[in-house]
C-alpha cells in the first residue's frame, strides 16, 4: 500500500547440528542460523485494523485489532496472529501489553521469504520472532530480545498449539554471524561458539516430502518423553527433566518400561552425552569427530526415535559417502523435511552431484541442495 512509513525486516531460519529432540527434554542443543528466512514489511494504519498478507498464499487476515481470535484459525497467519495476541496480552511476563495507541492505529504486514515452509528449517520461528521484532521496532514497544523470543514461543505453544521446545526461537532470535549457539534448555542459558565457516560448509538438502501427521507425531514424542521421565524420576532424586536421568538408571529399569518409551529415553539420554562430546570436539577444531556425532545422531533418530523417513535416510547415506562430508542428519523434528550436511568447504558440487544422483535413481527427481554460511538474528533491512 501507499505511505512513506513502510519498513522492512528479515529474520533467518536455522538448522540444528546436534541435540536432536533434546530441547523439550531440558538438554543442550547446538543450532545455527542460515541466511534464508522471512521478509516482513510493516506499514502502520490509522483505523485500528490488522491485515496480514503473504506472497505464498491467497489467504489474507483483515479484522479490527481489538477483535483478535483467541485460538488458531487453521490459516498460515496463525503464526503472526499468535504473536500479536501474545503481545496484546502482555506475554511473556515482564513485557508490557500493547498500549492503546498501537491498538487504535493497527497495521498492515506483508510476509515473504525464501525458506521452504514446514521443512525443518524453522520457518515458524522465523516468522514468529521476525513478527515480534518488526512490531517492536515499528511501534517502539521497548521489548528486549528475550521478550521477543518469549512472544514467539507463546504464539506457537498457546495459539498454534505445538508443544515445541525453546530451541527454534532462540536459534533465530540470538543468532550471530560465524557462530553456532550452545543453548542449555534446562536453565535456558546460552553462549556463542565460533565455527570456521571459511573451512566448513553447511549444506541443506530438501526431500520435498513432509509426512502429513508430523505435528501429531511430534506431540506424541513429547508425551512419550514425559512418560519416560515420570517412570524414571523416582530413581533419581532431584531430577527435573529427562536429561537428568543417567544411562545406568535407564539400563537398570529399561525392562520395566514400554519398549517404545524405552527407545525414546535411550535416544535422549545418549544424545545428551553425544552433544557434550561434540561440543568438546568443536572447541578443539576436530570437525571430523563433530561430524561423526551428527551421523550418529541421525542413526539414533532413525532407529530409536523413529522420526526419520526413507527419503531422509537415502540422502543421509549418499551424503556421508562423499569425501569431505563429515556428518549428515535430519534437521528439525524429522518425519520428512530436510537433511543438514556438515562438510569441508570445496565439496559442495560433489554433494550436489552424488546426492542428486542417488535421489534421482530412487525417486526420479533431484532434490534442492543449498549451502549456507550462517547468519545473524532479526534486523531491519532497506
Ligand atoms: C522441532 C521443534 C524444536 C525441536 C526440534 C527437534 O523443530 O520445533 O523445538 O524439538 O523439532 O530437535
Ligand 1 and 16: CB distance under 6 A: yes
Please answer whether residues 129 and 149 qualify as being in contact, where contact means their C-beta atoms are separated by less than 8 angstroms. yes
- Interatomic CA distance for residues 61 and 108, integer angstroms: 10
pLDDT, position 119: 81
Which residue reads 552425552 in cell numbers? 273
- Alpha carbons within 13 angstroms on the beta-carbon side of residue 218 total 24
pLDDT, position 224: 98
pLDDT, position 211: 75
Number of Cβ within a 10 Å radius of residue 323: 9
* Cell numbers describing residue 278: 561434540
CB proximity list for 258: less than 8 A, separation 6 or greater: 227
Which residue in the list 23, 108, 136, 168 is annotated as catalytic? Answer: 168
pLDDT, position 100: 65
Ligand 1 and 31: CB distance under 6 A: no
Ligand 1 and 165: CB distance under 6 A: yes
65 CA distance to ligand 1 centroid (A)? Answer: 31
Q: How many residues in the chain? A: 382
Q: Give, for ligand 1, the residue of 165, 267, 297 to mutate: max count of ligand atoms closer than 8 Å to Cβ.
A: 165
pLDDT, position 213: 67
* Cell numbers describing residue 290: 563433530
Closest CA to 22 of 228, 241, 234, 281: 241
- Interatomic CA distance for residues 77 and 111, integer angstroms: 9
Q: 10-residue block means of pLDDT along the chain (382 residues)?
A: 79 97 98 96 93 96 93 95 90 63 86 87 95 94 94 94 92 96 98 94 94 82 98 98 98 98 98 98 96 98 98 98 98 95 97 98 97 93 90
Quickly list H helices, 199-286: 214-232, 247-253, 259-283
Cα R_g (the chain), whole angstroms: 21
Number of H helices and E strands in the chain, helices first, is 11, 12
Give phi and psi for 74, each to the nearest 5.
95, -5
249 CA distance to ligand 1 centroid (A)? Answer: 26
Please answer whether residues 180 and 168 qualify as being in contact, where contact means their C-beta atoms are separated by less than 8 angstroms. no
pLDDT, position 214: 74
Angle between helices 259-283 and 287-303 (to 10 degrees): 170
Q: Which atom of ligand 1 is nearest to the CA of 29?
A: 12
123 CA distance to ligand 1 centroid (A)? Answer: 12
pLDDT, position 192: 98
Kindly report the protein residue whose alpha carbon is nearest to atom 11 of ligand 1.
333
225 CA distance to ligand 1 centroid (A)? Answer: 13
Q: Give, for ligand 1, the residue of 152, 218, 274 to mutate: max count of ligand atoms closer than 8 Å to Cβ.
A: 218
- Interatomic CA distance for residues 293 and 314, integer angstroms: 18
What is the pTM assigned to this prediction?
0.95
Whether 187 is a known active-site residue: answer no
166 CA distance to ligand 1 centroid (A)? Answer: 8
> Any idea what DSSP says for residue 91?
P
Kindly report the protein residue whose alpha carbon is nearest to atom 4 of ligand 1.
21
Ligand 1 and 168: CB distance under 6 A: yes
Ligand 1 and 333: CB distance under 6 A: yes
Amino acid at each position: 500500500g501507499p505511505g512513506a512509513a513502510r519498513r522492512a525486516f528479515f529474520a533467518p531460519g536455522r538448522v540444528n547440528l546436534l541435540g536432536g529432540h533434546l530441547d523439550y527434554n531440558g538438554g543442550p542443543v547446538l543450532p545455527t542460523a542460515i541466511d534464508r528466512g522471512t521478509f516482513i514489511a510493516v506499514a502502520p494504519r490509522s483505523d485500528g485494523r490488522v491485515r496480514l498478507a503473504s506472497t505464498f498464499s491467497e489467504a489474507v487476515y483483515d479484522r479490527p485489532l481489538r477483535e483478535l481470535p483467541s485460538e488458531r484459525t487453521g490459516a498460515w497467519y496463525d503464526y503472526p496472529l499468535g504473536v500479536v495476541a501474545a503481545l496484546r496480552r502482555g506475554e511473556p511476563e515482564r513485557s508490557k501489553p500493547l498500549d492503546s495507541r498501537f491498538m487504535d492505529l493497527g497495521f498492515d504486514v506483508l510476509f515473504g521469504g525464501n525458506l521452504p515452509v514446514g521443512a525443518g528449517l524453522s520457518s515458524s520461528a522465523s516468522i514468529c520472532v521476525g513478527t515480534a521484532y518488526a512490531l517492536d521496532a515499528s511501534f517502539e514497544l521497548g521489548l528486549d530480545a528475550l521478550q521477543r523470543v518469549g512472544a514467539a514461543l507463546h504464539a506457537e505453544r498457546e495459539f498454534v498449539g505445538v508443544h515445541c521446545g525453546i530451541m527454534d526461537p532462540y536459534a533465530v532470535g540470538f543468532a550471530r554471524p560465524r557462530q553456532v549457539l550452545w543453548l542449555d534448555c534446562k536453565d535456558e542459558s546460552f553462549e556463542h561458539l565460533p565455527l570456521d565457516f571459511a573451512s566448513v560448509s553447511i549444506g541443506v538438502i530438501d526431500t520435498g516430502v513432509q509426512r502429513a501427521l508430523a505435528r501429531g507425531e511430534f506431540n506424541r514424542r513429547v508425551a512419550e518423553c514425559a512418560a519416560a521421565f515420570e517412570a524414571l524420576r523416582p530413581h533419581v532424586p532431584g531430577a527435573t527433566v529427562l536429561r537428568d536421568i543417567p544411562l545406568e538408571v535407564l539400563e537398570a529399569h529399561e525392562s520395566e518400561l514400554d519398549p517404545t518409551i524405552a527407545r525414546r529415553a535411550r535416544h535422549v539420554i545418549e544424545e545428551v552425552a553425544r552433544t557434550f562430546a561434540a561440543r568438546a570436539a568443536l572447541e578443539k577444531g576436530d570437525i571430523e569427530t563433530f561430524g561423526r556425532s551428527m551421523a550418529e545422531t541421525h542413526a539414533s533418530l532413525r532407529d530409536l526415535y523413529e522420526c526419520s523417513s526413507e527419503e531422509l535416510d537415502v540422502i543421509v547415506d549418499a551424503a556421508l559417502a562423499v569425501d569431505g562430508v563429515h556428518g549428515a542428519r535430519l534437521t528439525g523434528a524429522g518425519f520428512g523435511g530436510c537433511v543438514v550436511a556438515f562438510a569441508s568447504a570445496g565439496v559442495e558440487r560433489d554433494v550436489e552431484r552424488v546426492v542428486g544422483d542417488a535421489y534421482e535413481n530412487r525417486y526420479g527427481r533431484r532434490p534442492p541442495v543449498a549451502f549456507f554460511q550462517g547468519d545473524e538474528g532479526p534486523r531491519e533491512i532497506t
